[in-house]
Amino acid sequence: MEMGRISTAMISSFSTEGKIDYEIAGVLIEHLIKNGTNSIVVNGTTGESPTLSVEEKEALLAFTIKTVNKRIPVIAGTGTNSTSESLQLTKKATELGADGIMLVTPYYNKPSQKGMYAHFTEIASETSLPILLYNIPGRSVVNLLPETVVALSKVKNIRAVKEASGDLEQIATIITETDQNFSVYSGDDALTLPILAIGGNGIVSVAAHIVGNDMQKMIAAFLAGRNAEAAAMHRALLPLFRGLFATSNPVPLKYALKKMNIGTGGVRLPLISYGDCNAEFDHIWKEYEKNRTLFA
């Protein structure tokens, strides 16, 4: 599955009326391409997918595919807790020309491992697109266990997993027991380097919106065997990674982008902005800038 080392889970840009702002979305896409993003995930958690209607998801995906114009791959987040709705979104993404789809573990209804296997294989049978599984127990409650991922990796077009369990032992097991053509991506910016170190492929990132090029330099240093240099970059980035999750994602990220003169609007209820977190992020950003010489 062609995603590169850094795939950015793109936020959804909103106007002051709360509608998708396509002009700003276009600016953001160009910013991401210039700043270290190898592929874009549309309609994921960072894009506030639970608050987007089916029509909005389809329109934003179509706009992104057209704007990107094959410069980098576009991955469509089509997973929901409804297999039938996920199928509908997947078929539309296939029709629109997405380069792949991302399927999150079904949330709220708490399916069993067999239920998740059936959910993912049912959707995989209805598309020719490569599939990125997305395991995020902190949001979906259920944990897609390594043995289930290994079984799913034997399905021809299930080619990768975004692992956000935070469990390096679980992630190492998946890397060991799947074949070399199956990719494992971190779903947590703070685990980018540790997951690369145990054989993972890269990161589906939030932070790449603002520090994508610096993250690419960290990854390049690691791949070139400059481990101490990569580790120093990792430590310099860690407070920033944590700051972006000081409250619900993407609240701090939208504030950070505004500081970079990319105003992507507010968040949709039930998310709200938090002034205290903005002040905390300002402090973190100042500390990060002191270490920018590491990335020169």
Using one digit for the tens of pLDDT, what is the confidence trace for 221-276?
999 999 999 999 999 999 999 999 888 899 999 999 988 889 888 999 999 987 66
Residue 103's domain spans which residues? 6-224
| pLDDT for the residue numbered 292 | 83
Find out whether 74 is annotated in a ligand binding site: no
In a domain, 248, yes or no: no
> Which positions are catalytic?
134, 162
Residue 261 lies in a domain: no
Q: Is 57 inside any structural domain?
A: yes
Inter-helix orientation angle 275-290/251-259, to 10°: 60
pLDDT for 263 equals 86
The tens place of each residue's pLDDT in the chain, 296 residues long, gives 789 999 999 999 999 899 999 999 999 999 999 999 999 999 999 999 999 999 999 999 999 999 999 999 999 999 999 999 999 999 999 999 999 999 999 999 999 999 999 999 999 999 999 999 999 999 999 999 999 999 999 999 999 999 999 999 999 999 999 999 999 999 999 999 999 999 999 999 999 999 999 999 999 999 999 999 999 999 999 999 999 988 889 999 999 998 888 988 899 999 998 766 677 788 888 888 888 888 88
The verdict on whether residue 155 carries a ligand-binding annotation is no
| Average pLDDT in the chain | 95
Identify whether 230 is part of a domain.
no
252 belongs to a structural domain: no
Residue 101 within a domain: yes
- Give residue 113's pLDDT: 98
How many other C-beta atoms can be found within 10 angstroms of the C-beta atom of residue 283?
Answer: 11
| pLDDT value, residue 240 | 93
Residue 239 in any domain: the answer is no
pLDDT of residue 276: 67
Global pTM reads: 0.95
| Residue 71: per-residue pLDDT | 97
Residue 105 sits in a domain whose CATH number is 3.20.20.70
Summarize pLDDT for 18-32 with one digit per residue, the tens.
999 999 999 999 999
**Is 229 within a domain?**
no
- The total domain count for the chain is 1
Question: What is the per-residue pLDDT for 283?
Answer: 84
* pLDDT of the residue at 153: 98
